[in-house]
Chain A
Amino acid sequence: MPAAITGRAMLTCLGDLESTFAALADGRTGVGPLRYGLPDKLNVLAGYHIGTSSAEGPAQATGWLTHCVSAALRDAGVDPGTSRVNVVVGTGLRELRTVEHGHLDGTQVTGNQLHFRRAVRAAVPGVREVHTLAGACAASGYALALAMDMLELGEADAVVAAGCDAMTESMLAIIGRVGERPADMVRPFDTARGGAQLGEGAVAVVLQAGATERAYGLVRGVGLTCDAKHETAPDQNGIVAAMRDAYARAGLGPERIDLVLAHGTGTALNDPTEAAALAEVFGADGPTVTGIKGAIGHTSGSAALMSTLVALETIREKAVPPVVGLRTPIEEARSLRLVHPERPVTQVTEVAQVNAFGFGGVNAVTIVQAPQRPGRGDG
C-alpha cells in the first residue's frame, strides 16, 4: 500500500532541503577540513560538517534529529495531540559522540541518551511510540519500511520516519584505517575514489496512508534484506534481492524505474558491487543513475531518507543532480547512465529508486513516485 509523504525536513552540510537541493543541482560539494579529533592521526582530513563553527555543541545528533522531526510534523500539519503519531528513527551511531566527549571531558551521559525516545517526546509531545533502529548506513531505509508497515496495519494515523548521525572518532578511525591515503572527498563510482568521508545531519518525513492532494510524493514500497555474507563487504545477491523485494512491494517492475539514487559511497567495495547489481537488474538500457554523497558526504543513518527526499525534489524540479566528485567511471559502472558533473541531465521522472546498504549486510531499497494529482496530465 503506497503512503504519502506529507511533511519533510532535512539538514545537511549544505543547509536545509531547499538549499541542499539547489547546491546539488549546481554540482557543488559541502566538503571541508575535518573538524573533529586529530585528523592526521585519524588519517581522515575531510568531512561534511554542518554550519561554519568548529566548536561542537552538546548532543548534536539529538539536536538535528528533533529539529527535523518537529519541522516535518509542522510541515505536514499533523498534530500528535489529535492524531495517532509514531516515530521511527534510523541511525548508525546514535549519540555515541557524546559518550566520546564523556571520556574526554567528563560530560555526563546516560544509556537512555544513546537512543532518542525521550528527546523526541520532549520535542513533539503527544507522540505515542518512539523506536530507534541502529541499522548502520541503511538505518533510515529500515525506519521508512517500519513506518510503511505500521500504516499498512492501521496502527497509526501518521508515522514519522527519520534519520540522524553525528561523526564519532571511532568511526572516523575505521574510515581512516580502510584507506591508505586520506581522500579529499567522496567520489562515487570514480576510478580514483578514495573511500567514504562522513557527513553530518538529520532528516525526517511524515508518512500518511493513501494519496493526498498535498503530498510531496508517494512511497510505493521498501524492500529489506540481509546479505548474510560478510560483516562489511556488500554482496551483489543480497542487494539484488532487496531491489526485487522493493519492486514486489511497489507492485511494479524495474522497467518502470526512471531514476536511481545510488548508495554510491566511493569505497573500494561498494561501488563495483552496487554497479554490478544495477546492471544485473536493469540490463543494458537502464535508468539514469546519480548519487549525492560527493556533495553531502556519507550521512550514514540519514543517507537513505536524504536520498529519498532528493529523489522527490528531482521529480519536482525535473533536474537530476550530477554525481559530484565523479571524473572517470569505474569499469563496472560503464554500462550505467551515470550523471556526469559536466553533462547535466534534465528529464521527467515519475518513479525513482533509492538504494541504501549498511555494514552488517543490511539493505534497504525504496521506490518513490511523483505525487498523484487528479486532473493533471503529468501526475
Chain B
Amino acid sequence: MTEELLAEPETSGKQLAGKELAITGFGVLSGLGIGPDALVDALTRPPEPVDVSGMFTEPLPRPDAHVLVDFHAAEHLGRKGTSFLDRGTAFGLLACRDALADAGMAEPDRARTGVVLGTTAGSLKSTSDYSRDTLTEERPYHVNPVLFPNAVMNGIAGQAAIRFGLRGLNATIAGGPLALLQALRYTGVALATGRAEVMLAGAVEEFSPQAAWSVQHAQRRAGGTLPAGEGAAVFLVEDAAAVRARGGRPDACVLSVTCSGSAASPGPAGTTDRLRECLRAALDQAGASAAQVRTVALGTDGTPWLDDAEETAVRQVLGAGAARLGTTQVTGVAGSASGAFPLAALLARHRAEPARDGELSVLSTRSADGSVAAAVVRGWSRAGGDHG
C-alpha cells in the first residue's frame, strides 16, 4: 500500500522545464519497408510476416518475421564504410540520415547536435558472434577485429555521430519498449540545459536468430503469438520556440513526456494503476483534457495480460472515444523500435491526412517490468494548417 502511494509519478512542475519539443523531421524503416508511406499503408492493409528461413544458418524459432529480408546497407548508404555494418547500425544510420533530410537539415550545426538512441540489447548478434568466435577460434587473434565496433553497446549512436559529424552529447538508453519516450525525455533535458540545439532521438532494433529466440521465449511465456520484427525510427527534435522564431513549421510538438514505474507490483493491476497515473500526469503537464485526445497510440506487444492492463488504463483515463492505433501487429515485436514505431505512424498519418491538422494524440508505453511512460503529441501535415 505504502509503496503504491510512493510510486506515483511526479506531477508537479513542468517536466520539460517549459521547453516544448518540436519534431521537424523523421526517418523510419521496418519490415514494412523504408519510409513513412509503408507504415501508413500497413495500418489499413496489415501484411503477413515474410519467410526468413533462408536468412541465417543458425536455427530460428519460426520461419516468419516482419523483416527486410533483402536489406543491403550499401544500396542505401553507399559502399563506403558499409561492408561491415551490422543490420542495426545500418538501420540506425539510415533513419538518422532520413530524419536529417526530412527536416531539410543536411548540414546541422555539428557541435550543437546530439544523438540519443534507444536499444534493448545493442547488437545481440554481434556480441554473441564475438563471444562464440572467441571460444571456437584457435587463437584470439583469429577473431575478426572489424566486428568489434558493432559489439560496443553504444556503437550505433557513435557511428551516427561519425557519419553525420554530430559532436554534441551522444547517448544510448537501454530501456526496451520504453526507450523512445526515455530518449525524448532525455532530449527535453538536453535542450533545456543548453547541451544541444538539435537532437536526433530514436530507437533501433535488428532481427537476428538471437533476437528471434528472445522474442519467441517472451511471447510464449506470456501467451502471445506475434513474430519478431526489426527497424528503426529517428526523430529530429528542436526547441519549438526556436523553430517558430526562425519561421519553421514543426511536424509535431511533444507537449509532455512522463516516465514512471514500480517494482512493487509489476503485474496487471499495478501496471494499470501506474499507467493511469502516468497518462493523467502527461495530460496535466500538456495542459490537455482527455476529451481533446483523438488518438491513443498503444504499446501493444501481443502479450494478453500486458495489452489488457494497458487498455484498461487508457479506457479509465481517455474513455472509449479516442481511436486506438497499434503498430506491433504490423511491425512485429521489435524491442525498443516497437516503442518508436507508434510515434512514426502518428506522424506519417498526419502527413498523409491534412484533415488531422492540430489533432492531439497520446502515446502510451509499458513494459513487463512494471515501468510505464506516456507522452502527449500534437501533429500536422505539411500541406497546411497552423504549425504554431
> Within the complex, which residue of A112, A136, A150 is in contact with B369, where a contact is CB–CB below 8 Å?
A112
24 contacts between A and B (CB under 8 A): A37-B135, A42-B134, A81-B2, A92-B153, A117-B369, A119-B263, A121-B263, A129-B10, A132-B173, A134-B172, A142-B169, A169-B135, A170-B131, A171-B151, A173-B133, A173-B140, A224-B168, A225-B170, A226-B157, A227-B161, A231-B152, A241-B111, A241-B167, A362-B171
With A42-B134, A149-B192 as known contacts, state yes or no: A115 contacts B218, CB within 8 Å: no
Contacts of B209 in A (CB 8 A): none
In the assembled complex, the Cα of A64 lies from the Cα of B169 at a distance in Å of: 27
Contacts of B119 in A (CB 8 A): 134
> Within the complex, which residue of B127, B131, B145, B214 is in contact with A111, where a contact is CB–CB below 8 Å?
B214
Decide if A155 touches B10 in the complex (CB within 8 Å).
yes
Decide if B3 touches A126 in the complex (CB within 8 Å).
yes
Decide if B174 touches A122 in the complex (CB within 8 Å).
no
- Of A49-57, A290-298, A333-341, A353-361, the one with at least 4 CB within 8 A of chain B: A353-361
- Give the interface SS of chain A, mostly helix, strand, loop or mixed: mixed
With A117-B371, A225-B168, A226-B161 as known contacts, state yes or no: A126 contacts B6, CB within 8 Å: yes
Binding site for B on A (CB under 8 A): 37-38, 41-43, 80-81, 84, 91-94, 96, 99-100, 103, 110-112, 114-115, 117-122, 125-126, 128-136, 142, 145-146, 149-150, 152-156, 168-174, 176-177, 180, 224-232, 238, 241, 358-362
Shortest B278–chain A CB gap in Å is: 11
**Given A38-B135, A42-B134, 14 other A-B contacts at CB below 8 A?**
A92-B153, A94-B121, A94-B174, A132-B175, A133-B173, A149-B193, A170-B127, A173-B131, A174-B148, A224-B168, A228-B161, A231-B152, A231-B158, A360-B170
Does chain A have a CB within 8 A of B103? no
Contacts of B171 in A (CB 8 A): 133, 135, 142, 362
Decide if B134 touches A96 in the complex (CB within 8 Å).
no
Shortest B5–chain A CB gap in Å is: 8
As a 0/1 sequence over residues 40 to 77 of chain B, the CB contacts with chain A under 8 angstroms (1 = contact) are: 00000000000000000000000000000000000000
> Within the complex, which residue of A117, A174, A224 is in contact with B151, where a contact is CB–CB below 8 Å?
A174
Decide if A177 touches B162 in the complex (CB within 8 Å).
no
**Interface size in chain B (residues, C-beta < 8 A):** 79
In the assembled complex, the Cα of A115 lies from the Cα of B121 at a distance in Å of: 9
Does chain A have a CB within 8 A of B243? no
Contacts of B173 in A (CB 8 A): 131-134
Contacts of A156 in B (CB 8 A): 10
Contacts of B367 in A (CB 8 A): 112, 117
8 interchain residue pairs of minimum CB distance: A360-B158, A126-B6, A226-B170, A121-B263, A173-B134, A231-B149, A122-B263, A112-B369
Decide if B193 touches A152 in the complex (CB within 8 Å).
yes
In the assembled complex, the Cα of A92 lies from the Cα of B133 at a distance in Å of: 21
